Chains A and B, each alone.
Chain A
Amino acid sequence: MTDLKQIDWVPLGLIIGMALLALPLVGDPAAWLTLTAAGLAMGMMIFVMSSGLTLVFGLMDVINFGHGVFISIGAYVALLVFVPLAAWGAADSLVLNLSLVGLAILVATAATGALGYAFERVVIRPVYGQHLKQILITTGGLIVAEQLIHALWGANPIPLRLPETLRGSFLIGDAAVERFRVFAIVLGLAVFAAMYIGLNRTRIGLLIRAGVENREMVEALGYDIRKIFIGVFVAGSALAGLGGVLWALYRQILVASMGMEMMVLIFIAIIIGGLGSVGGCFAGSILLALLANYTGFLMPKLAPVSNILLMLAILVWRPQGLYPVAKR
């Protein structure tokens, strides 16, 4: 995996091919650039939200249908920073604005990470190895948590204003690319790079990858896979919280169900990518978001089913997803 020759370039080629194919279809290069940037930003957000879920599944065969609620909680916890420090966001200073967002991300990821720890302990642990119960329990957790958000923050949607310097667009030629989207792309790439290095260059990453491939073997070598798993679960929940902050800034309006509405895209992304594969999840998220943007522009009527059609096409081509993980 560390050797460039070992990387399967076909799915990445697919992304580039799709973008290039869309160029003549869209016609106007400026519109194409706007669409592509929007798609990449969306894809990065989906990736940030879904990468934890796919690792959790790969490592421990646990599926968390309540994952979406960590996204919502991340967004709502970020309010605790955004509201009292609103002056930082209103100031026309990049440093103040970015430190506000950074602080919000820090608080949100800490909160969702801690919550993930509790969730793993209380909710997930009793139902290891029982898929049916996992789906039911985590869905139940989702219902309760959504209602708790309503109880704590009220049932009305809460508006959130983007910090001043992240508003508006960059003009590249005729194309307008929203600043926040560039920010999301940069952040998403940073997360991907951090995960890639963490998984491929560190000892713990090696154990995680080995655990995804063959859990029993890692255990037989004397490592406590449960401890690794808890770490991954916490990290995955924190990433969902980070995704929640981004998603909240993107929507600029918070509702308790905002995480749940992303779950469909997240599931499709991790299925397309191959359950358990971070790289696949990255490629899948971007493919999904780009296609959604292009079809939304070219054939709006077809847009709602474009995800499903993409999933069908990919699964017919590679039934185990873009980057199949061994044994699945």
Chain B
Amino acid sequence: MLRHLLSGDLPRSHALGAVLMIVLVALAGAPFLFPGSQSLNVAAKICVFIVLAASYDLLLGYTGIVSFAHTMFYGIGGYGIAIAMHGISATWGAMGIGIALALLASLILAVIIGLFSLRVRAIFFAMITLAVASAFAVLASQLRDITGGEDGRSYSVPMVLRPSFRLFDEPVLGVSITGRMLSYYIVFFSSLLLFLAALRIVNSPFGRVLQAIRENEFRAEALGYRVVVYRTVASVLSAAMATLAGALMALWLRYTGPDTTLSFAIMIDILLMVVIGGMGTLYGAVLGAVIFILAQNYLQLVMAKLSAATSGIPLLPQLLHPDRWLLWLGILFVLSVYFFPTGIVGRLRAGRR
């Protein structure tokens, strides 16, 4: 049963299995285990970024292509929800239309970019996606009438998802079931479903072909697989998943703006998550996203203490300043690429032997 759910791709390491179990339980019970809006926010972010990182790993880790346009698709999902909910109405129907149109837009863009630039080498694709994504970001902040420009759009969600909504009159397990909690569970279960779907994809015959292309493009081509077609389909699937992740995030935040969806900073975040967690295994995306989001939210507290403790020494306090948390993750990223390209998951799995 479990094997079937995970598409035969088991953690293959006791430590990894245990960590994944803890993550699953913590996320599933987050509203009860860690009450409070900030921790719930962190949990929801982790869910969404697991999906986002997993969809990126489908490209980077499994197909071996670097795209810098992943946040564009993530943003399209967010703006799909934003424009529909703001422009039509705060109903489930509008939400459906928004998601459907966003998926369609992502699909078209991904196919165009793919067919245009995946024929040539990895470097070309990376540069072209970077250019397209940045043009898209500028466009989104310029088309004020549609997107709300730099300010973005805030909007309402359907009644049952609003914080003021109560499912029951009485609290359950000491926590009252609010619309916020229902939103969280929509995010959680959708993310879980998307993650399992991604596992299904990479462990299908199609996924095997992607890995073959990653390992040796010419050989795969010689065996009769149309490399361009496979790469394009992979980038379309990955784009669709990123779009859905963007829609989930929009639903959770009830706000969509260029900084939270389209910025290059988020692209860097995703890259860090996938590489630190481990490329070429979707569990790496899980660990990467969990570690990164936790670091983003809590590492700064630790660093503030360290910075204060080292205040007499030159330079060290600046390096340990809470705002420099990305410096340390960046160093970890570089070291990961050199010394353990399979990331944390690879380490855990190797440790078993």
**A132 engages B127 (CB within 8 Å):** no
Residues of A within 8 A of B134 (CB): 264
**A143 engages B122 (CB within 8 Å):** no
Docked pose: A140 CA to B274 CA in angstroms: 13
Q: How many residues of A contact B (CB 8 A)?
A: 36
**B131 engages A311 (CB within 8 Å):** yes
B275 proximal to A (CB < 8 A): yes
**A132 engages B122 (CB within 8 Å):** yes
Would you list which residues of chain B between 276 and 335 have a CB under 8 Å from chain A?
315, 318-319, 321, 323-324, 326-327, 329-331, 333-334
**B142 engages A271 (CB within 8 Å):** no
**B122 engages A267 (CB within 8 Å):** no
Docked pose: A176 CA to B214 CA in angstroms: 55
Residues of B within 8 A of A14 (CB): none
**B131 engages A143 (CB within 8 Å):** no
A135 proximal to B (CB < 8 A): yes
Question: Which one of B121, B143, B323 contacts A155 once the chains associate, using CB atoms below 8 Å?
Answer: B323
Residues of A within 8 A of B126 (CB): 63, 65, 135
Residues of A within 8 A of B240 (CB): none
What's the minimum C-beta distance from B62 to chain A, rounded to whole angstroms?
Answer: 12
Residues of A within 8 A of B327 (CB): 143-144, 147-148, 150-151
Residues of B within 8 A of A152 (CB): 318
**A137 engages B338 (CB within 8 Å):** yes
What's the minimum C-beta distance from A284 to chain B, rounded to whole angstroms?
Answer: 13
**A151 engages B64 (CB within 8 Å):** no
Docked pose: A271 CA to B121 CA in angstroms: 12
Residues of B within 8 A of A307 (CB): 131, 135
What's the minimum C-beta distance from A305 to chain B, rounded to whole angstroms?
Answer: 5
Question: Which of A137, A143, A263: most chain B Cβ within 10 A?
Answer: A143
**A304 engages B138 (CB within 8 Å):** yes
**B142 engages A304 (CB within 8 Å):** yes
**B130 engages A263 (CB within 8 Å):** yes
Would you list which residues of chain A between 258 and 300 have a CB under 8 Å from chain B?
260, 263-264, 267-268, 271
Docked pose: A311 CA to B128 CA in angstroms: 9
Q: A136-B66, A143-B330, A304-B139 are in contact. Are A267 and B271 (CB under 8 A)?
A: no
Docked pose: A136 CA to B272 CA in angstroms: 9
Docked pose: A141 CA to B271 CA in angstroms: 13
**A132 engages B326 (CB within 8 Å):** no
- Which secondary structure characterizes the binding site on chain A? helix
What's the minimum C-beta distance from B214 to chain A, rounded to whole angstroms?
Answer: 9
**B135 engages A63 (CB within 8 Å):** no
B188 proximal to A (CB < 8 A): no
Docked pose: A305 CA to B132 CA in angstroms: 8
Residues of B within 8 A of A308 (CB): 131-132, 135
**B268 engages A139 (CB within 8 Å):** yes
Residues of B within 8 A of A315 (CB): 116
Docked pose: A191 CA to B330 CA in angstroms: 34
Encoded as 1 (CB less than 8 Å from any B CB) or 0, chain A from 23 to 34 comes to 000000000000
Residues of A within 8 A of B121 (CB): 131
Residues of B within 8 A of A126 (CB): 338
**A63 engages B123 (CB within 8 Å):** yes
Q: A144-B331, A271-B128 are in contact. Are A151 and B324 (CB under 8 A)?
A: yes
Q: Across chains A and B, which 7 residue pairs bring their CB atoms closest together, nearest first? A: A147-B327, A143-B330, A304-B138, A140-B334, A267-B127, A144-B330, A151-B318
Q: Which residues of B contact A (CB under 8 A)?
A: 60, 64, 66, 116, 121-124, 126-128, 130-132, 134-135, 138-139, 142-143, 264, 268, 271-272, 275, 315, 318-319, 321, 323-324, 326-327, 329-331, 333-334, 337-338, 341
